[in-house]
A and B are shown apart, each in its own frame.
Chain A
Amino acid sequence: MTIPPVVHIRDLHKTYVVSEREGGVRAALASLVHRRKQEIKAVDGISFDLSPGEIVGFLGPNGAGKTTTLKMLSGLLHPTAGELAVLGFVPWKRDRDYLRQITLVMGQRNQLVWDIPPIDSFELNRAVYRVPAADYRRTLDELTQLLELAPLLKKPVRNLSLGERMKCEVAAALLHRPQVVFLDEPTIGLDVTMQRRIRAFIAEYTRRHGATVLLTSHYMADVEALCRRVIVIHHGRLLFDGDLADLVERFTAHKTIVLTLGDCGVDLSSYGEVVSCTDGDVTLRVPKAETARVTGRLLADFPVMDLTVEDPPIEEVIDRVFQQEVS
């Protein structure tokens, strides 16, 4: 028996109508009479399913349609066309039983009330989601412990640092123990340590509660640490859906060979593209298929002290994917 998917998307579309005009007052006046409208296809026919308990990375360059998709999934936006179901609900109907089971965290937005301590906002969320007092107490204790919130809960939100505020935002979004968690760049603008903290928390939280997570981030470290599967979209279309490892495999035609020769005077251009040479460490870029052969030749031809073969960094792979047009 197959388990029904938590998230089911088929041929989803969202079109925005945007008016545009040339710069200047004259054009501004002209646009009062006649307005040029343009249809922007923010999401242009994407399909995917998420299984229970999956943590999936949702990648794409700025403006690819990630946030629009997340907003449709959480019922904020009405899709233009297509099929969309989460936990068997139609999100835009905003059924209370649905909303109680999901959450959306946007790294660039905040829901905590600015002037007062987070604990007051937490109380408000408790009332909104009708969390029973005992459950609330237990969840709050758990989140406080996992995210080390204790010293933060009683300070006004405006006095918290970005990282501290983000921890509280994440906690506020999870007080009702949602089964499906949509995270839109939860680590944006945070320092490396805080990013790691949030990341570790998401991993621990999903391990404990088996939540399904769709995660958007521009930090590949987030994706590498949390997601086995990634979905890549670009210009509102699906570009890739599969294992992160396969993405790297499919979109990299090269491998990097780093060899320690202790000398930069040797000409290696006949072996591959010399990317750099510092302190006798030569970095070569070679086509993937020739890696083994080139490595063998290098080892035979030169007194190599050390040699490593590496995949290009994930950032480079992603950059390559983003720069491709949809075929």
Chain B
Amino acid sequence: MRGLGGIYVQQFKTTLASFIQYRAALVIWLIGHVLEPLIYLVVWSTVSRSSGGSVGGFTAAFAAALAAGGIIVYSFWLMLATLSFWFVRVENILQIFSSMYEAGRWPVSFYPRWLRFILTFLIPVAFATTVPAQALAGRLTWRTLAEAFALGAALLVMSRAFWRIGIRRYSSASS
């Protein structure tokens, strides 16, 4: 297990090294992916407070909810990508997922019941976005968090199994 961790650490270092190889690309990334969310966070916190709400939930539960969400999105994405062993090109499916992910920007409780069901279980973006947001707003229950982790664990096992089935079909292209 220690060795496996070593691989991930080294992979992270390598990815990081490629990432910071080009200065311009790094600056653009910082603007788009770090600065922009930070601005949003500040703006919306202000809006929220001025209307009597509170954003104080930067707690361990928030981090945990984010982690669970990450696992869920990763597993789901892996399963969709694994479909390419059968269908060769699956970019379109991934695109649909991206659009659904956009829908997860708003709390799922906004949506009608049937859509809420889809966004929670069929395409589990609710857990990836709404649950961490609940944590931020201090409305997260332990039960929801446990459910998120249970779903994450289940999906992780499933996606791995699916991947292993898919890779048998791997036929590779050209030389």
Contact = CB atoms under 8 A, between A and B. Distances in A.
A63 to B, nearest CB: 10
A41 interface: no
Contacts of A78: 168, 170
A51 to B, nearest CB: 27
Contacts of A116: 14, 17-18, 21
Contact of A127 (B7, B172, B175): B7
A71 interface: yes
B109 interface: no
| Contact-size category for A | 20 to 34
Nearest to A94: B167
B172 A120 contact: no
Given A78-B168, A130-B3, A113 B175 contact: no
Contacts of B17: 113, 116, 120
A33 B10 CA distance: 47
B171 interface: yes
B18 A113 contact: yes
Contacts of A130: 3, 6
Interface in A44-87: 67, 71, 76-78
Nearest to A66: B175
B175 A123 contact: no
A180 B14 CA distance: 27
A13 to B, nearest CB: 14
A123 B3 contact: no
Interface in B6-56: 6-7, 9-11, 13-14, 17-18, 21-22
B11 A124 contact: yes
A77 B14 contact: no
A16 B171 contact: yes
A123 B22 CA distance: 20
A248 B7 CA distance: 48
Instruction: State the main secondary structure of chain B at its contact with A.
Output: helix
| Contact-size category for B | 10 to 19
B175 A128 contact: no
Nearest to A125: B10
Contacts of A16: 171
B173 to A, nearest CB: 10
Contact of A156 (B13, B21, B172, B175): B21
Contacts of A127: 6-7, 9-11
A76 B170 contact: yes
Interface string B104-143: 0000000000000000000000000000000000000000
A108 B18 CA distance: 22
Contacts of B175: 67, 106, 108-109, 184-185
Given A115-B22, A116-B17, A116-B18, A77 B10 contact: no
A121 interface: yes
B14 A128 contact: no
Interface in A269-305: none
Given A106-B175, A115-B22, A120 B14 contact: yes
Contacts of B11: 124, 127
Determine which residue in B11, B17, B172, B175 has the highest number of CB atoms from chain A within 10 A of its CB, and name it. Answer: B175
B14 A76 contact: no
Nearest to A67: B175
Nearest to A15: B171
A8 interface: no
Interface in A203-251: none
Contact of B14 (A106, A109, A124): A124
A33 B9 CA distance: 48
15 contacts: A71-B172, A78-B170, A109-B175, A113-B18, A114-B18, A116-B14, A116-B18, A116-B21, A121-B14, A123-B10, A124-B11, A124-B13, A128-B10, A130-B6, A184-B175
Given A16-B171, A126-B10, 6 more contacts: A78-B168, A109-B175, A123-B10, A127-B6, A127-B9, A128-B7
